[in-house]
Amino acid sequence: MRKWFLAGAASCAALVVLGVFVAPTLLRAKEQPNEEPGARAAQLPIGQVMLYSSGVGFFQREGSVEGDARVDLSFPVSDINDLIKSMVLRDLDGGHVSAVSYDSNAPLDRTLKSFAIDMSRNPGFAEILNQARGERVEVALANAASGALTGTIVGVEKQKQVVNKDVNEVQVLNLWCADGMRGIKLAEVQKVRFLNATMDAEVKKALETLALSHDTQKKAVSLKFAGEGKRRVKVGYVIENPIWKTSYRLVLSPKEQEKPYLQGWAVVENPSDEDWKDVRMVLVSGRPISFQMDLYTPLYVQRPTVVPELFQGLRPVAYSGSMDDLARRDLDRVANADKFKDQAAAAPAPPMAGGMPGGFGGRGEGKGAENREYAKRIQDQLKENLHLGQSVSSAATAAKLGDFFQYAIDRPVSLPRQKSALLPIIGKDVEASRVSIYNEAVQAKFPLLGLRFKNTSGFHLMQGPVTVFEGSAYAGDARVMDLQPNEERLVSYAMDLGTEVNAVPSQENGRILTIKAVAGIIETKVKNRQVKTYTIKNRNDAERTLLVEHPVNNAFTLVGEKPKETASDVHRFEVKVPAAATKVLTVAQEREDQTNYSVTSSDDNQIRFLISQPLASQKVKAGLQKAIELRWAKSKTTTELGEVRRQLASIVEDQARMRANIKELPNDSDIHKRLLKKFDEQETQIEKYRADIKKLEGVEHGQDVAFRDYLAGFSAE
């Protein structure tokens, strides 16, 4: 039986525990002090790696166990949740998995307090002994002659002792021994050993927990297999891993009959602390849904504290130059090109101070021919095809994997820890035709050199960078998005400085097409038109096929020129421009809008504008003119009626003043008589105004009825 010593041996045991987990290997094959009897440690190296383009990897460990066995693994803390969520264990030859255990993620203090001896507060010797009251111990004293004492801990007390007339406080361990109670100064105690095996194990586990807490980046996982004889076992799990990436090389042959050659590389990384040795590797281009869930951290539900009703109630809880000038300049350049070449060839090479290696800068007429021959050899070398397929062959077999696409590497892969690798996965001839691609939003003046690329490789091509070579010379970089087999896509890799485009927009909005009247409603159809003119100048010595990308506007309809193709965001128009020639592409879009005007609510100026339109028929014009006249007549009557009402209101208001004055004046006064006379005259006028108002209201009503009846029956085109 192993024993645990509190003094001296404790620190040694903690270092041993730390050594087990800080070791660089992920597998711990040595026996652990607290392992179950009969369980033999086994190793399971990584046998297969499946990497996904969604940031995870499926790792499978493979090996064999015999009898009851335990496999100890170590994982970063950040992987434990994925491990708990996805781990798959298989004992293939009749055995079974009996248990999976892992280091808890509970707070350290909570874990330490769960042991018989609480180590959470860095207890001293006396405090530990006080926590062990009632336990039988063997105490060895500093004075070897006194031997070892065996007894039960009663407690540790402080006593005052007089030493050289000074009063000192000492700690005394009280033991209940066979011969009674004994007090031993702690200063005299050399070591204490627990005789109870359970208490010994508890102290050991508490110290192991403390040691494990020092390495917060790794957690231990123990797998226990039960069965008889030698058996094959596999352990698979999904954890976070850098996405595997693709990088392509596309070689364009100077010979038109030769197809471009596409070479693809996969970029894989081993960010773990374990070497991958001869593993089977599969690269999957799908993006499965993957998420993290915190299953590792213990979750505690806070419960309410219920106080007995007796004491307290319950509480709730981001342009220049003329195109004509450019055309004249380019034609002169083409016409004089041969003359310039002859002059350059006839001119002697200028002497260079000191000369140059390889015959450059030498004196004499023969050197010029040698220099031109040297330059021609360089040009011929650059035109040679790279023939990448002769040097590197694809090392992967591609196939469908359900709804995904996978590349299974044909040979075992070894990749040391914290290293990355390039693996060849594609080497195929593909179809591509040269085009120039113009998009004003990308480059307002020049198109881009590109390709109409068709994926005839038979593989699913993941998105990634493409390095383009013309023969053996670097031509530029491109980028391709995810591409299914036989799918076409445009790629661009350089600027086409020999072709220039001038895009000029114009618009014609609000042109009326038709005018008609229906029951007092004037319906007009208005055409809105947007036009952009692309003037294309090809200064190259060969014909250019140009794809002009024009933005899609779903509110308008294309008229006239039809696009070669339409993508979700652009229409693509194909224009073939001969050498040193200019072509014009006009892209027009139209939209018809219908606008309704109510004659009753529209003002006269709006109606007169509609009458003035050439597209309005004579019937529409005459009808609208009559409607204006009817509405004007009614408006005139309404104005007269308003004036009569105003005058009536004025007299009525004045009569109120006169009544007040008449009441205050003597009946026989001249002013009283004069006011009475005027009051009588106003009464006569009031009767007349009221009669006029009644008459005008009848006229107004009749005019309104006639106007509305006319509009209801008025329809004309």
Residue 505 and residue 557 share a domain: yes
Position 623 scores a pLDDT of 81
Task: Output the pLDDT for position 406.
Answer: 83
Partners of 151 in the beta sheet?
A: 137
Give the residue-averaged pLDDT of 238-244.
89
C-alpha separations of 336 from 341, 347, 531 in Å: 9, 17, 38
Count of domains for the chain: 5
Q: Which residues pair with 73 in a beta bridge?
A: 27, 221
389: pLDDT strictly greater than 50:
yes
Per-residue pLDDT at 411: 87
The three-class DSSP label of residue 81 is helix
The whole-number pLDDT of residue 383 equals 61
> Are the C-beta atoms of 233 and 44 separated by less than 8 Å?
yes
- Cβ neighbourhood burial of 103 (10 Å; 0-12, 13-18, 19+): buried
Q: How far apart are CA 369 and CA 674, in angstroms?
A: 133
Interval 695-710 mean pLDDT:
86
Flag whether 698 is in a domain. Answer: yes
| Interatomic CA distance for residues 608 and 625, integer angstroms | 8
Q: Does residue 206 sit in the same domain as residue 119?
A: yes
pLDDT of residue 374: 66
Q: CB atoms < 10 A from the CB of 435, how many?
A: 23
The two structure tokens encoding residue 662: 């008449």
pLDDT at 438: 94
Judged against a pLDDT cut of 90, whether residue 502 lies above it is answered with yes
Question: Is the pLDDT score of 33 beyond 90?
Answer: no
274 pLDDT more than 60:
yes
Instruction: Tell me if 131 is assigned to some domain.
Output: no
Residue that is last in its domain, among 476, 495, 514: 495
Of 2-6, 185-189, 432-436, 618-622, minimum mean pLDDT range: 2-6
Question: Has residue 87 got a pLDDT over 50?
Answer: yes
Q: How many residues does the chain have?
A: 717
**End-of-domain residue from the set 240, 266, 295:** 240
What angle separates helix 323-335 from helix 337-346, to the nearest 10 degrees? 50
Query: Is it the case that residue 350 has pLDDT exceeding 90?
Result: no
pLDDT at residue 614, as a whole number: 79
290 contacts 260 by C-beta, under 8 angstroms: no
Q: Residue by residue, what is the 3-state secondary structure of 431-493?
A: EEEEEEEEECCCCCCCCEEEEEEECCCCCCECCEEEEEEECCEEEEEEEECCECCCCEEEEEE
Contacts of 314 (CB under 8 A, 6+ apart): 304, 306, 307
Confidence band, pLDDT 50/70/90 cuts, at residue 327: very low
Predicted confidence (pLDDT) at residue 576 exceeds the cutoff of 90:
yes
DSSP 335-377: HTHHHHHHHHHHSPPPP-TT--GGGTT-SSTHHHHHHHHHHHH
pLDDT at 500 over 90: yes
Looking at residues 17-44, what average pLDDT do you find?
42
- Residue 86, SS3 per DSSP: helix
Residue 293 lies in a domain: no
- Residue 686 tokens, joined: 């009031």
Same domain, yes or no: 626 and 513 = no
| pLDDT higher than threshold 70 for residue 271 | yes
- Looking at the chain, the number of H-run helices and the number of E-run strands are 11, 33
For the segment 224-243, the average pLDDT, to the nearest whole number, is: 90
pLDDT at 501 over 90: yes
> Is the residue at 316 inside a domain?
no
In terms of residue numbers, what domain contains 429? 245-274+388-404+415-495
Output the average pLDDT for the chain: 78
pTM above 0.75, yes or no: no
Residue 4 lies in a domain: no
Q: Which residue's structure tokens are 């095809």?
A: 385
pLDDT at 581 over 90: yes
Do 65 and 158 lie in a common domain? no
Spatial separation of the C-alpha atoms in residues 71 and 235, rounded to whole Å: 10
> How would residue 343 be classed by pLDDT, with cut points 50, 70 and 90?
very low
Please determine, for residue 536, whether its predicted confidence score (pLDDT) is greater than 90. Answer: yes
Above 60 in pLDDT, residue 319? Answer: no
| 558 and 491 assigned to the same domain | no
The confidence band for 499, taking pLDDT boundaries of 50, 70 and 90, is very high
Q: Are residues 473 and 583 in the same domain?
A: no
The Cα 629–Cα 703 span in angstroms is: 11
Res 605: pLDDT: 84
CATH of the domain at 176: 2.30.30
Q: Is residue 454 predicted with pLDDT exceeding 80?
A: yes
- Residue 108's pLDDT is 65
Query: Does pLDDT of 400 surpass 80?
Result: no
Q: How confident is the model at residue 446 (pLDDT cuts 50, 70, 90)?
A: very high
Considering the domain architecture, whether residues 523 and 551 belong to the same structural domain is answered as: yes
Kindly state whether residue 555 falls inside one of the protein's structural domains: yes
Shared domain check, 236 and 173 = no
Please check whether residues 455 and 490 belong to one and the same domain.
yes
Does any domain span residue 704? yes
What's the rounded mean pLDDT across residues 284-309?
68
Name the residue with tokens 């002497």: 351
Q: How confident is the model at residue 407 (pLDDT cuts 50, 70, 90)?
A: confident
Phi then psi dihedrals of residue 273, to 5 deg: -95, 15
Based on the domain organization, do 100 and 204 belong to the same domain?
yes
Encode pLDDT of 672-687 as tens digits.
Answer: 888 888 888 888 888 8
- % pLDDT > 90, the chain: 19
pLDDT grade for 648, boundaries at 50, 70 and 90: confident
Q: What pLDDT score was predicted for residue 626?
A: 84
Least Cα distance to 60 among 235, 231, 196, 195 occurs for 235
Q: For residue 96, which phi and psi values (nearest 5 degrees)?
A: -150, 160
Q: Final residue of a domain: which of 567, 598, 629? A: 598
pLDDT given for residue 624 in this prediction: 83
Least confident of 187-196, 274-283, 367-376: 367-376
Q: Does 364 have pLDDT greater than 70?
A: no
Residue 27's pLDDT band (boundaries 50, 70, 90)? Answer: very low
Count CA atoms within 13 Å of residue 490 on its CB side: 19
Is 266 a member of any domain?
Answer: yes
pLDDT band at 288 (very low <50, low <70, confident <90, very high): confident
Q: Are residues 697 and 634 in the same domain?
A: yes
Ranges 31-40, 166-175, 657-666: which has the least confidence:
31-40
582 with 661, same domain? no
